[in-house]
Amino acid sequence: MQAKINRESCRTSSSRQYVPSSDMSGTNLSIHSITHKAFAETQMSLLSDSSTEAETLSVSSGSQARCSYSASSDASAGSESSVLVHIVSGDALQAGTDVNQRYDSHSLLKKVPYGASNSSDECQSVDEVEKLRKELKETLVMYDKACDDLVHAKKKIQVLSNECSEEARKVENALRKEKILKQLAADEKAKHLEAINEVEQAKRSFTREAYSKHKAEMVGCIISLDKEKIVDAILSTSKNCRRYSKHEIELATDNFSEARKIGEGGYGNVYRCTLDHIEVAVKIIQQDSTDKTDEFLKEVEILSQLHHPNLVLLIGFCPEIGCLVYEYLENGSLEDQLLNNKKHQPLHWFLRFRIIFQVSCGLAFLHGRKPEPIVHRDLKPANILLDKNYVGKIGDAGFAKVISDLIPDWQTEYTDTIVAGTMYYMDPEYQQTGTVRPKSDLFGLGVIILQMLTGKHPNGLIVSVENAIKSRSLPYILDRTQTDWPVAEAEMLAKLGLRCTALKCRDRPDLESEVLPELEEILHRVSSIVNMRNLNSRAPSHFICPIAQGLMDDPYVAADGHTYEHHAIKDWLRKHRVSPITRCKLPNLSIIPNHSLHAAIQQWKKSQTAQTQTWK
């Protein structure tokens, strides 16, 4: 008999169906219960099938009945029910197969003919079946336990895997933090080393600064002693130069009040005040210009030794605050008169000619100083001051330089020195080479001459005057605040100014032998013009030439009956045939001298000259 274990088993205790299920990692167990009758019918069917298949086996019907009865009795006596087990799981498939193999083996035993068997064999087979069932149950129990253990192990493995992943993340984070901390430590170490280097450098710098400070203090002490010696020497050599105290200066300037401030010099403010009952101009070195003390002492040393009508007189000084006390000049600087003349009357052209001559005389005095000449180096309108009578005086000699080794004009020599001066007035050759000569001041003098004639800014002025002279249009660029310029003398002065502004020193005229004589001649001519105009203003009207509008020196009578200056009427008759006064046609062109009028004019001139000498 083949015992077929598919999905059902018999149970004898009850007719109801019980299906327990256990979830053991994918394993499902189903148990169905049937009645004793059904189980017997199943057995009979199995035995009937077996007897049919056995062709050579002869079994009596009694034996079949016994066998059937014995099997039925043994089945009912051996167990209350039959169990059919179906295992639906990949994990329990092998166990189910083993059970089926065992039942199949029993079935094969059943197929053997029962003719030779007896009741003891049958009972032994039933015991074996029971034994197999017990083994099956034990196997199922063990399988259930193994499944439970497997599920537990899987859960434990999952937990351990999660813990391992967490630990791995912690280790990774720890490694990353360690790397960051190492980098921070390296940075901090670098900063520490850098800080140590900075401290070392600071220590070295502090040591150098301390040494430099000590050295500077020593040098300062030496310089201070030298300055005291210079001051004592100045006071001993110049009796007219007085030393003022700081308190005296502060008291005179009302503690440097803005109300007393009248201007600014090259390196200090200028205040107007009264010292020793004399009106003076006090120039103070600015607080941020203490490094220019050398210039201050240089100016004191130079000016204390110079006395000339066309140089600003130095009255005294104060070494404590770097103060220079000059004579006060009422009409300010030439720059104020020319370019900033809103508060002043326009400077008369005759005064301009005279101021140029006076400045040239003062400059010639500096250049002719013995044994060593002095070069001003910063001659400009701002450094030319005017007193109450408009007498020009050179001031601000702070940039002046004593020339010990005079370089010839024809020689060009480059010198490593600091160039001093003001743009547009500075000698181009001195600016390029650093070599200073007395003729270096002539360039500034030439620019000043051109400014006095035109009243214009120095930028581009030289070219403008050159073009005007070439095109014979000089009268059109003369200062228009003056309407009665002597054009001929103005042109002479303009040409002299252009010669002084030559780019090379060797092309400029000599101040003493050329410039001064020519200026003196021009001044004499313009003085004659002024005197003549003054005489004309007081002369009788019939002494004045109708054509030249001036006092006649050689009067002649023309055909119209009127008297004219001889050269004026001759020039007129060359071009015209009519009378200068009546505009009528002249009967003839003959002229005759007027001796009686000439004698009267000469007598009047003598009387005017005698009267002028009496006033003087």
Residue numbering of the annotated binding site for ATP: 283
Kindly give the pairing relationship between strand 374-375 and strand 268-275: unpaired
In eight-state DSSP terms, residue 271 is E
Amino acid (one-letter) located at 455: G
In eight-state DSSP terms, residue 84 is E
Q: 315, 329 in Cβ contact below 8 A?
A: no
d(CA 434, CA 422): 14
Q: Of 378, 396, 427, 479, which one is the catalytic site residue? A: 378
C-alpha angle 36/42/48, rounded to 5°? Answer: 135
In a 10 Å sphere around its CB, with 0-12 CB exposed, 13-18 middle and 19+ buried, how is residue 463 labelled? exposed
Q: Which two tokens stand for residue 237?
A: 């050599």
Q: Residue with structure tokens 């002229």?
A: 591
H or E element: which one contains 270? strand 268-275
Q: 70, 125 in Cβ contact below 8 A?
A: no
Annotated binding-site residues read 283
H or E element: which one contains 87? strand 84-88
d(CA 186, CA 175): 16
C-alpha angle 530/534/536, rounded to 5°? Answer: 115
Work out whether the CA dihedral 484, 487, 488, 492 comes out positive or negative. positive
Q: 501, 507 in Cβ contact below 8 A?
A: no
In this structure, the number of other CB atoms found within 10 A of the CB of residue 280 comes to 20
Q: Is 227 left (phi over 0), alpha (psi -120 to 50) or beta?
A: alpha
d(CA 525, CA 518): 11
Q: Residue with structure tokens 């001649």?
A: 521
d(CA 14, CA 232): 148
d(CA 51, CA 13): 30
Concerning whether 378 is annotated as a catalytic residue, the answer is yes
Q: Which two tokens stand for residue 541?
A: 């009207």
In eight-state DSSP terms, residue 202 is H
Amino acid (one-letter) located at 250: E
Q: Residue with structure tokens 């274990």?
A: 5
Q: Which two tokens stand for residue 193?
A: 């080393």
Task: Just list the catalytic residues.
Answer: 378
